[in-house]
A and B are shown apart, each in its own frame.
Chain A
């Protein structure tokens, strides 16, 4: 039943490793980009607020597939941006990380904004009364509490991101869904086994994230 796995024809672990790397780099990038976006979104400078709001509304409503395809056809094939990669599969990977960061950052921004909204206004008012500037209020008082309140929505964003890495197959990153497609075309008599393997792989990837972050959300919640 599993004999096609022994043939050495398919690099299952390699594909899942690419997926995990995609998820990890994109998660780091989108956390940073999302934080920057939310900082702009609540900032006193109207232009930054407008930019962040417009960016979030536009990118959030664009399908991720369109974002990634635009990265490949637009950035790479039309403009010649390759992000310092020389081999074609590397280009796919790096462009996928870029697209995933651009897309997921908007959801991180929204999650953090809902986190900021849970911080009682008195906290920011007290910080201002102490004479802290906007960046100090945000950095020292509001965002630390917002992050702790936003662990659950952020966990959902990260799980969705892990699943969204499969879309990178659309621009040729050698990750799991591309391998599954090949395997399903070749191993037609073992369709259900192949699907079960990949389903199991993703459950292994997403379930611990949910459990750990669910536990973290309880631990970190600000007791009021």
Chain B
């Protein structure tokens, strides 16, 4: 059988499992019945609340797709800026010079300890007071700034762990060939570390996409989630339908990214002899390592 946690079910265990299945199903059905009943009572299940998402293309072209574009734009900008910055911070933290290593380490630890929402709010206030960024673009700037500061420090840790995970011989051999420190890092260590880091970096993308929604809720950033106000105002208070559609879009994007990260990790593990050759995902997204015990 699939698991070491329980025996292959015999006739009695099979019967018991059937009973459990029925009980569990009954509980699920009860919850679903209550939720659907309550929704129906508030007329949230009426066809005209849901049909705009299928029949009316305007919902998509005026609200959902522009919102999705903003979400993806903020996410793309953040990762594009955070990657080189994070790599620089990660390498700085590995420096031989104490006067580089210590301040960079302090910066990384600081931005990792602060909630990303506070960073966004602070960035927004700073842009408002000290720059001439127009109020149309301020939310985007604030969201991207917050995400860059936080994710660069997370990526820095991923890069550091990736470089440290390489066998010592790699760096030693490069030095023996007469390479400078910069060359060793650029031509020998980083290229190998990048493949090790790839799954963790893709998982970080999921975190970034999810965090863009913060800007919509609290900073007036016109991303996907914030469209729910416009849609419910224009299509007859179809709160549940709108939130369901928006959540499904997020889930689809992030599920694709998560699956991609899992695939990359498995492929990388197959290509290597040592088993645990990838850096685990960071910051609240602990990924399961292997599927040995779980039956799923």
Contacts from A to B (Cβ < 8 Å): 41-42, 44-49, 51-53, 57-58, 60-66, 69-70, 73-74, 77-80, 107, 110-111, 113-114, 116-117, 119, 121, 124-125, 128, 133-134, 137-138, 142, 153, 156-157, 159-161, 163-167, 169-170, 176-177, 180-181, 184-185, 188, 191, 195, 198-199, 202-203, 206-207
Known contacts A65-B214, A70-B247, A134-B6; is-contact A47 B118 (Cβ 8 Å): no
Q: Is the CB of A163 within 8 A of B115?
A: yes
14 contacts between A and B (CB under 8 A): A44-B13, A57-B255, A63-B225, A63-B250, A69-B228, A78-B39, A79-B35, A79-B39, A121-B293, A128-B6, A167-B214, A176-B118, A188-B129, A202-B113
Q: Is the CB of A128 within 8 A of B7?
A: yes
The docked-state distance in angstroms from the alpha carbon of A110 to that of B203 is 14
Is B61 an interface residue, CB under 8 A from the partner?
no
The interface size bin for chain B is 35 or more
Q: Is the CB of A110 within 8 A of B286?
A: yes
Q: Is the CB of B288 within 8 A of A63?
A: no
In the bound complex, residues from chain A placing their C-beta under 8 Å from that of B284 are 107, 156-157, 159-161, 164
Q: Is the CB of A79 within 8 A of B5?
A: no
Among the stretches B16-24, B52-60, B159-167, the one at the interface with A is B16-24
Q: A64 → chain B, closest Cβ, in Å?
A: 7
Q: Which residues of B, 1-49, contact A by the 8 Å Cβ criterion?
A: 3-7, 9, 13, 17, 20-21, 24-25, 28, 35, 38-39, 42, 44
In the bound complex, residues from chain B placing their C-beta under 8 Å from that of A128 are 4, 6-7
Known contacts A65-B225, A117-B294, A160-B283; is-contact A137 B24 (Cβ 8 Å): no
Q: Is the CB of B247 within 8 A of A62?
A: yes
B contact patch SS: helix
In the bound complex, residues from chain B placing their C-beta under 8 Å from that of A110 are 286-288
A contact patch SS: helix
Closest 8 CB pairs of A and B: A160-B284, A61-B254, A170-B217, A63-B210, A63-B213, A65-B213, A163-B115, A184-B125
The docked-state distance in angstroms from the alpha carbon of A54 to that of B65 is 26
Q: Is the CB of A61 within 8 A of B258?
A: yes
Is B121 an interface residue, CB under 8 A from the partner?
yes
Q: Is the CB of A170 within 8 A of B6?
A: no
The docked-state distance in angstroms from the alpha carbon of A156 to that of B117 is 18
In the bound complex, residues from chain B placing their C-beta under 8 Å from that of A78 are 39, 42, 44, 239-240
Residue of A whose beta carbon sits closest to that of B44: A78
Q: Is the CB of B239 within 8 A of A73?
A: yes
In the bound complex, residues from chain A placing their C-beta under 8 Å from that of B126 are 191
In the complex, the number of residue pairs spanning A and B with C-beta atoms less than 8 Å apart equals 203
Is B107 an interface residue, CB under 8 A from the partner?
no
With A42-B295, A117-B293 given, name 10 new contacts (CB 8 A): A61-B206, A64-B213, A80-B38, A113-B294, A121-B292, A133-B6, A137-B6, A191-B122, A195-B122, A202-B118
Q: Is the CB of B255 within 8 A of A199?
A: no
Q: Is the CB of B282 within 8 A of A156?
A: yes
Is B110 an interface residue, CB under 8 A from the partner?
yes
Residue of B whose beta carbon sits closest to that of A119: B293
Q: Is the CB of A180 within 8 A of B118?
A: yes
In the bound complex, residues from chain B placing their C-beta under 8 Å from that of A58 are 251
Is B263 an interface residue, CB under 8 A from the partner?
no
Q: A22 → chain B, closest Cβ, in Å?
A: 12
Is B72 an interface residue, CB under 8 A from the partner?
no
Q: Is the CB of B115 within 8 A of A177?
A: yes
Known contacts A51-B28, A78-B240, A191-B129; is-contact A153 B6 (Cβ 8 Å): no
Q: Is the CB of B294 within 8 A of A124?
A: no
Partner of B293, one of A42, A47, A202: A42
In the bound complex, residues from chain A placing their C-beta under 8 Å from that of B5 are 42, 44, 124, 134, 137-138, 142
Known contacts A73-B243, A116-B294; is-contact A66 B289 (Cβ 8 Å): no
The docked-state distance in angstroms from the alpha carbon of A201 to that of B263 is 39
Q: Is the CB of A49 within 8 A of B296?
A: yes
Q: Is the CB of B293 within 8 A of A107?
A: no
In the bound complex, residues from chain A placing their C-beta under 8 Å from that of B246 are 66
The docked-state distance in angstroms from the alpha carbon of A114 to that of B13 is 27
The digit string for B129-145, where 1 denotes a CB below 8 A from any CB of A, is: 10000000000000000
The docked-state distance in angstroms from the alpha carbon of A185 to that of B217 is 17
Is B176 an interface residue, CB under 8 A from the partner?
no
Partner of B250, one of A44, A61, A207: A61
The docked-state distance in angstroms from the alpha carbon of A73 to that of B229 is 10
In the bound complex, residues from chain B placing their C-beta under 8 Å from that of A46 are 17, 21
Q: Is the CB of B17 within 8 A of A79?
A: no
The docked-state distance in angstroms from the alpha carbon of A181 to that of B118 is 8
The docked-state distance in angstroms from the alpha carbon of A61 to that of B285 is 10
Partner of B239, one of A47, A74, A180, A207: A74
